[in-house]
């Protein structure tokens, strides 16, 4: 509408107009076929010692004209068109392949887990469990090294999904509830759902370091963060605090009982090569 030479910058997380979404959806098929999708990895870190315990796998689209397209801009389109199924399969397989390669190069201590994200649409795909089994077997990755990140809204969708989740759990694959606290029915969900990990949403971490009198919002965040870690502990679940952007937040979360975190302060999502370099540096430091 604005003419060919025009461009508009969309902030990450901002919704693209429906038209742009439709176009992206069309391009996405080509992106998959032409290998324009990449997987980046963000460290999941021990808060007390800074040790990398695992990585979350996040998809990126290296678009030939648009540059790097954020998943917030194309995952919704992929979900609508069903392309999320082959896209998710690609990310799953790539994450398993890469994790197996790291374990082969650096040994079993280098990472406990690799964690790709899974959409509800994938859970409804009749081949999903077989795809997971194949991704593990083809790359020789133990199921205990794989964590599938699911959002609450995804797992609230009825008996069939629950059966799939129990099958995965029985295989030894762990399930993480992503963005925890933002969904509708967090508490009742935890009882029926075979989760191993709860990821405290970034919205409860933002501002958690402030506790001057009168900042009720920060107090509320601390209350939620404390309640989540206590509940998780009571149910035997591990926790990860998401979106940690400074040391004060990390310190506060440690005091509230969190031992594991993720966020720009601890490590941004980076290429597999950069994670390899990080592991090499860790190994060199341990040997020194």
CB 57 within 8 A of CB 263: no
* Tokens 């029926």 sit on residue: 192
Quick one: which segment of 30-38, 112-120, 214-222, 265-273 binds Mg ion (CB under 5 A)? 112-120
Which residue, 39 or 110, has its beta carbon nearer to ligand C2E? 39
Minimum CB separation from ligand C2E for residue 144, in Å? 21
Task: Name the residue nearer to ligand C2E (CB basis): 232 or 242.
Answer: 242
Inter-residue contact 189 to 151 (CB < 8 Å)? no
Contact 181, 161 (CB under 8 A): no
Shortest Å, Cβ 203 to Mg ion: 9
**Smaller CB separation from Mg ion, 25 or 263:** 263
Identify the three-state secondary structure at position 113.
strand
> Which of 183, 257 has the CB closer to Mg ion?
183
Six-digit token pair at 181?
């606290």
| Residue 257 DSSP code | T
Residue 222 contacts which entry, Mg ion, ligand C2E, none (Cβ below 5-8 A, type-dependent): none
Query: Which does residue 43 bind out of Mg ion, ligand C2E, none, counting CB within 5 to 8 angstroms by kind?
Result: none
Tokens of 153: 């809204």
- The residues that touch ligand C2E, with contacts defined as CB under 6 A, are 42, 58-59, 70-72, 75, 84, 88, 91, 116-119, 149, 178-179, 243-245, 262-264, 269
Q: Which does 245 bind (CB under 5 to 8 A by kind): ligand C2E, Mg ion, none?
A: ligand C2E
How many other CB atoms are there within 10 angstroms of residue 92's CB atom? Answer: 25
Footprint (CB under 5 A) of Mg ion, residues 222-251: 242
Q: What are the CA-CA distances from residue 252 to residues 189, 200, 207, 226 (Å)?
A: 27, 14, 10, 10
């Amino acid at each position: 509408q604005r003419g060919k030479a025009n461009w508009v910058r969309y902030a990450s997380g901002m919704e693209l107009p429906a038209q742009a979404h439709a176009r992206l959806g069309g391009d996405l098929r080509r992106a998959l076929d032409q290998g324009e999708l990449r997987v980046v990895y963000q460290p999941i870190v021990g808060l007390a010692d800074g040790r990398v315990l695992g990585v979350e796998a996040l998809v990126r689209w290296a678009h030939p004209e648009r540059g790097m397209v954020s998943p917030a801009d194309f995952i919704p389109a992929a979900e609508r068109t069903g392309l999320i199924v082959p896209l998710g399969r690609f990310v799953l397989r790539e994450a398993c392949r890469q994790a197996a390669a790291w374990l082969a190069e650096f040994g079993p201590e280098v990472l406990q887990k690799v964690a790709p994200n899974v959409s509800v649409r994938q859970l409804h795909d009749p081949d999903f469990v077989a795809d997971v089994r194949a991704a593990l077997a083809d790359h020789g990755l133990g199921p205990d090294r794989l964590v599938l990140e699911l959002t609450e809204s995804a797992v609230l969708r009825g008996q069939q999904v629950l059966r799939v989740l129990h099958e995965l759990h029985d295989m030894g694959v762990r399930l993480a509830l992503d963005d925890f606290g933002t969904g509708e029915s967090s508490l009742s969900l935890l009882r029926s759902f075979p989760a191993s990990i709860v990821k405290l949403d970034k919205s409860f971490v933002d501002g958690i370091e402030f506790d001057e009198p009168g900042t009720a919002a920060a107090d509320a965040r601390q209350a939620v963060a404390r309640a989540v870690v206590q509940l998780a502990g009571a149910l035997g679940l591990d926790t990860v605090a998401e979106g940690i952007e400074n040391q004060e937040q990390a310190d506060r979360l440690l005091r509230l009982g969190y031992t594991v975190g993720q966020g720009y302060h601890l490590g941004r999502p980076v290429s597999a090569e950069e994670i390899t370099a990080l592991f090499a540096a860790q190994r060199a430091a341990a040997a020194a």
